A = this chain, B = another copy of it.
Amino acid sequence: MFKLIPSGTVTSTPGFLAGAVHAGIKSDNAPDLAILYSKVPCTAVGAFTTNRIKSAPVLLSQKRLSRGQAQAIVVNSGCANACMGEQSLVDASEMAKLTAAKLDISPEDILVASTGVIGMPLPMKQIRDGIEKVGLHPDGGHDFAKAIMTTDTKPKEVAVQVDMRELKFTIAGVAKGAGMIHPNLATMLCFIATDASLDAAFLQSSLQKAMEISFNMISVDGDTSPSDSVFLLANGLAGNKAIGFDNGKVFQETLNEVCSYLARAIVQDGEGATKFIEVTVERAKNPSEACQASRTIASSLSVKTAIHGSDPNWGRIIAALGRSGVEIVEEKIDLYLNDVCVLRKGIPLPFDRDGLRTTLSHNDNALIRICLNLGDGKATAWGCDLSEEYVTINSEYTT
């Protein structure tokens, strides 16, 4: 149905330009200020942190999106512009105004995002100079992806193309996030660009649905931040008949794929992560209980550390399942670890413990599958192991 664009990035979507500079907000020489711009105004939707402390860029962008339209996004890394009182809002607003002036569009059409340390003033001189210096290019997506990184070790970007007889469009996305990642909404920034023409109400619903199976199903460390934002801009340049609730299936599935790809990329690059953990809970009482169980297991420190040590200590998985609060009947539970059944109908099966330990240690992925045999609820959550390196990253530097 859709194909991956090789080395795709957010500017793989026709009509989008991007660029980035090192403005001097971060202390190293990495790019830290970026702009994403569409040649024409876009239908725009977003989703934001559920944290009760919200950064100024989140408050500003939420307000702007009430109009359902945007044309550009300005982002900085290195400073979250959060918890600085009134000044935060003044600064976020100035970022928007400067970008609007540069692009010769209305400040109302600018969205803002900031990520980094909380409780530090935004260095406005660097921001002002940086915005002036950013050049926008049709292949500027990769630079944009690098500029939004904080403790990320690699950029996260993807672009897919749908090419059917009557429907051709592209969806491309870029994300950052390596720590403070937890469901609802994962602590992260994500920018998605499409050239499809879409009904605004459908677009919002579509983003919400895609998030439920992607960004809301990942966990690095259980924390969330005041900055979490996902933006989706649709510029309509594909010229298709507007996609809405009645004909939205292909778009929804493509968007699901883009969001899932980026969500997995975020946990694979989790702070200090050496292993990707996929937890699938099947035949739960209902889908929401499957979600709850899989997320609890993927977030459990004792599970994460066992996986880090390649220890097939399934008792910790069962303990996390029991703690999740979902309905279970112990005598009905089947549990598989990397496809080896270790528990059937609640009774441990003999298995080659050393063999499974070896399999776990030689694989970058650990697969946990639980069948509760109670109903038809199914969900998959993604996480990563907890390593000594996670502690070092988070204790030695202010991030």
- The answer to whether B391 and A51 touch across the interface, beta carbons within 8 angstroms, is no
Map CB proximity to B onto A380-399 as digits: 1 under 8 Å, 0 otherwise: 00000011101110111111
- The answer to whether B179 and A319 touch across the interface, beta carbons within 8 angstroms, is no
In the docked arrangement, what's the CA distance between A383 and B324, Å? 21
- The answer to whether B348 and A83 touch across the interface, beta carbons within 8 angstroms, is yes
In the docked arrangement, what's the CA distance between A29 and B188, Å? 49
Pick from B50, B118, B319: contact of A316, CB below 8 A.
B118
Question: A residues 324-383 with Cβ under 8 Å of B?
Answer: 324-328, 330-331, 343, 346-348
On whether A394 and B323 interact (CB within 8 A), knowing A53-B330, A83-B348, the answer reads no
Pick from B299, B391, B397: contact of A308, CB below 8 A.
B391
- The answer to whether A346 and B85 touch across the interface, beta carbons within 8 angstroms, is yes
Q: Shortest distance in angstroms between A295's beta carbon and chain B's nearest beta carbon?
A: 13
- The answer to whether A323 and B51 touch across the interface, beta carbons within 8 angstroms, is yes
- The answer to whether B180 and A302 touch across the interface, beta carbons within 8 angstroms, is yes
Pick from B180, B322, B388: contact of A226, CB below 8 A.
B322
Question: A residues 302-323 with Cβ under 8 Å of B?
Answer: 302, 305-306, 308-309, 311, 313-316, 318-323
Question: A residues 64-122 with Cβ under 8 Å of B?
Answer: 80, 82-85, 117-120
- The answer to whether A311 and B398 touch across the interface, beta carbons within 8 angstroms, is yes
Q: Shortest distance in angstroms between A396's beta carbon and chain B's nearest beta carbon?
A: 5
> Which residues of B are found within 8 Å of A163, using beta-carbon distances?
none
Pick from B52, B300, B331, B343: contact of A223, CB below 8 A.
B300
On whether A309 and B390 interact (CB within 8 A), knowing A84-B347, A223-B301, the answer reads no
Let me know if A225 is at the binding interface, CB within 8 A. yes
> Which residues of B are found within 8 Å of A117, using beta-carbon distances?
313, 315
Let me know if A221 is at the binding interface, CB within 8 A. yes
| Copy count, this protein chain | 2
Let me know if A260 is at the binding interface, CB within 8 A. no
> Which residues of B are found within 8 Å of A394, using beta-carbon distances?
301-302, 305-306, 308-309
Let me know if A138 is at the binding interface, CB within 8 A. no
Let me know if A224 is at the binding interface, CB within 8 A. yes
Let me know if A287 is at the binding interface, CB within 8 A. no
Number of interface residues of A (CB under 8 A): 65
On whether A225 and B319 interact (CB within 8 A), knowing A313-B398, A347-B84, the answer reads yes
- The answer to whether A348 and B119 touch across the interface, beta carbons within 8 angstroms, is yes
- The answer to whether A387 and B398 touch across the interface, beta carbons within 8 angstroms, is no
- The answer to whether A319 and B398 touch across the interface, beta carbons within 8 angstroms, is no
Let me know if A244 is at the binding interface, CB within 8 A. no
- The answer to whether A323 and B83 touch across the interface, beta carbons within 8 angstroms, is no
> Which residues of B are found within 8 Å of A309, using beta-carbon distances?
394-397
Pick from B84, B324, B346, B398: contact of A83, CB below 8 A.
B346
In the docked arrangement, what's the CA distance between A119 and B387, Å? 24
Let me know if A222 is at the binding interface, CB within 8 A. yes
Enumerate 16 A-B pairs (CB-CB under 8 Å) in ascending A order. Answer: A50-B323, A51-B319, A51-B322, A52-B322, A83-B318, A84-B348, A85-B347, A119-B315, A119-B318, A180-B319, A222-B300, A301-B394, A306-B394, A311-B397, A313-B398, A313-B399
- 7 additional A-B pairs beyond A53-B322, A85-B347, beta carbons within 8 Å, are A51-B319, A52-B324, A118-B315, A118-B319, A180-B302, A223-B319, A301-B301
